[in-house]
Amino acid sequence: MTTPDSSALRAGRAQRILATLATTLAFTGVVALSAFAAPAAHADALDSIARSGVVRIGVFEDYPPFGSIGPDMKPEGYDIDMANLIGKTLNAKVELVQVTGDNRMAYLADHKADMLLSVGETPEREKVIDFSQPYAPYYLAVFGPKSVAVRNAGDLAGKTISVARGTLEDLSVTKIAPPSATIKRFDDPNGAISAFLSGQVQLMVVGNDVGATILARHPANDPEQKFALFSSPDHVGLNKNEPRLKQKIDETIARARKDGTLNAIAVKWLRAPLPADL
């Protein structure tokens, strides 16, 4: 899974930094305590899944199009399809564990979940968990109507572009936009999106998850993705020292990429094929 550059932005950033630090420290503490208290014999996660016939997968249910509650009141999205694919590979029933950004690392450490989906790889997280190969793209991109020809940064010349002020979207497009481009900054992402949908600007910069939702809900605006700016793909997050489970997940992802299953999931939920470099 951005606020204006004001005192509120600084406070919000500080809160997010503190929350991330607290979550990481808490997770590290749980891991250290577990290592101290655990018996010498290590219970292999893959064997545990095989014995129980159940794999518990942590997902967001408020993060469309990766995870949300559908009209039938059942979870749906990219990560739900991915979870079912993993369950099929492991010959196990999938138990979706609803998580939040604050609790999911602790859920993994406490073995309330066998793995997590939609995890971005960072140096801090690498110290406490392992990562599968990437299975889903996450990136910032320029979106606009099909009638506006834009293929690269140079084509932004003379265009109007909406962004949420002070965000990564703002920083990324400001860095590459030609001097003649007009970047209109709004106090929050909703303002930037509304400006695009109402025709106040020609283009907008948002994450591919937000962009996919807009493509699905506003066909009258005839929007499409133009080009990507910044990439941070999603991985399956796993506890350390589970090489057999990690290998099984990596094999699942490689096979799904090769046979087109992952691409079909991406087109279905993100309205775009998998990037060639995923």
pLDDT of the chain, 278 residues: tens digit per residue: 433 333 333 334 334 433 444 444 444 444 444 444 444 345 799 999 999 999 999 999 988 999 999 999 999 999 999 999 999 999 999 999 999 888 999 999 999 999 999 999 988 899 999 999 999 999 999 999 999 999 999 999 999 999 999 888 999 999 999 999 999 999 988 899 999 999 999 999 999 989 988 888 888 778 899 999 988 899 999 999 999 999 999 999 999 999 999 999 999 999 889 988 88
Taking each helix axis from N to C end, the angle separating 208-217 and 189-197, rounded to the nearest 10 degrees, works out to 40
Position 216 scores a pLDDT of 84
Q: Which amino acid type is present at position 224? A: E
The token duo for 61 is 């249910």
Contacts of 86-91 spanning 24+ positions with Cβ under 8 A: 86/55, 86/57, 86/115, 86/236, 86/249, 86/252, 87/55, 87/57, 89/248, 89/251, 89/252, 90/46, 90/49, 90/50, 90/55, 90/248, 91/50, 91/53
Q: Which pTM value belongs to this model?
A: 0.75
- What domains appear along the chain, each with residue ranges and CATH number? 7-137+232-270 (3.40.190.10), 139-231 (3.40.190.10)
The neighbour count for residue 90, using CB atoms within 10 Å, is 20
CA 266 to chain centre: 12
Q: Which amino acid type is present at position 202? A: Q
Position 9 scores a pLDDT of 33
Backbone angles phi, psi at 38, to 5 degrees: -70, 150
Position 276 scores a pLDDT of 86
